Amino acid sequence: MSAAMRTPSGPGAGFTPMHNGHAARATEDTIMQHFSKAIDRVRAKEARRLKSTGQDPVLSKSRWCFLKRKENLTEGQSSKLAELLHMNLRTVKAYLLKEDFQRFWEYTYPAWAAKFLHRWCFRTMRSQIEPMKDIAKMLRRHQPLILNWFRTRKQFNSGIVETLNLKWILTVRKAFGFRTLKALQVASFHQPA
């Protein structure tokens, strides 16, 4: 994979496009990890700000309320999250942006996913929440790679690629007697099924 496909630092660090059957899950997991880190930075900064101004520490012991998936929250965390969602906090806004982005994975057509991504990034850039704006910038930078798995989902089976790879390896093994590249190419494309 070329170095140009990676962002060396910042919120895009570690985002690598995958070209196998696990691309959809890996892409989703990678992007959602960036969301978790961004929300945690927003929450920590806001908790420090609330503490320094002498306000109630409403964000204490709330880290996992924002980072876990809703179905994995304990009963106490669910009630704490419900209570926090009624407050006008930057952390809540960041959390709601993340939850809204989850709808992105439900699209089946690349054009509609691209439209959603464009609107989501536009709203996020206006949110004035820097870590979330960094994610929007990363998503814009990697948009063609992210949308690629919408185009290729369920079209290619890695078994087909593995079969062709095996046929090529077997042909190359047999090809020690071939004297030219042309003979090797003819042998590789005229394999019995």
* pLDDT digits 0-9 by tens, 138-147: 999 989 888 8
> Is residue 9 in some structural domain?
no
pTM for this one?
A: 0.66
> Is residue 22 in some structural domain?
yes
Instruction: Say if residue 45 is in the same domain as residue 107.
Output: yes
Instruction: Say if residue 70 is in the same domain as residue 97.
Output: yes
Residue 143 class from Cβ within 10 Å (0-12 exposed, 13-18 middle, 19+ buried)? Answer: middle
Instruction: Say if residue 93 is in the same domain as residue 181.
Output: no
Give dist(CA 32, CA 28) in Å, integer.
Answer: 6
> Is residue 88 in some structural domain?
yes
Instruction: Say if residue 177 is in the same domain as residue 106.
Output: no
Hey, what are 63's tokens? 């880290």
187 vs 31, higher pLDDT = 31
Hey, what are 151's tokens? 């185009």
Give dist(CA 123, CA 103) in Å, integer.
Answer: 15
Instruction: Say if residue 101 is in the same domain as residue 42.
Output: yes
| Coil, strand or helix at 179 | coil
Instruction: Say if residue 105 is in the same domain as residue 141.
Output: yes
The total number of structural domains in the chain stands at: 2
> Is residue 175 in some structural domain?
yes
In which domain, by residue range, is 132 found? Answer: 14-152
DSSP string, 57-85: -TTTT-HHHHHS-GGG--HHHHHHHHHHT
Give residue-wise pLDDT tens across range 18-38: 444 444 555 777 888 999 999
Give dist(CA 67, CA 40) in Å, integer.
Answer: 8
CA terminus-to-terminus distance, the chain: 32
pLDDT band at residue 90 under the 50/70/90 scheme: very high
- 60 has pLDDT over 70: yes
Instruction: Say if residue 163 is in the same domain as residue 135.
Output: no
| Dihedral of the alpha carbons of 33, 36, 41, 43, in degrees to the nearest 10 | 180
> Residue 124 has what pLDDT?
95
> Residue 146 has what pLDDT?
85
> Is residue 4 in some structural domain?
no
Instruction: Say if residue 61 is in the same domain as residue 123.
Output: yes
Residues of the chain above pLDDT 70, percent: 77
171 vs 94, higher pLDDT = 94
> Is residue 8 in some structural domain?
no
> Residue 18 has what pLDDT?
43
Those residues whose C-beta lies under 8 Å from the C-beta of residue 6, and which sit 6 or more positions away, are: 12, 13, 14, 15, 16
> Residue 96 has what pLDDT?
93
Instruction: Say if residue 122 is in the same domain as residue 89.
Output: yes
Average pLDDT over residues 110-114: 91
Instruction: Say if residue 18 is in the same domain as residue 106.
Output: yes
Instruction: Say if residue 102 is in the same domain as residue 168.
Output: no
Instruction: Say if residue 40 is in the same domain as residue 112.
Output: yes
Residues of the chain above pLDDT 90, percent: 28
Residue pair 3/12 in contact by the 8 Å Cβ criterion: no
Q: How many CB atoms lie within 10 A of CB 91?
A: 25
59 vs 116, higher pLDDT = 116
> Is residue 2 in some structural domain?
no
> Is residue 127 in some structural domain?
yes
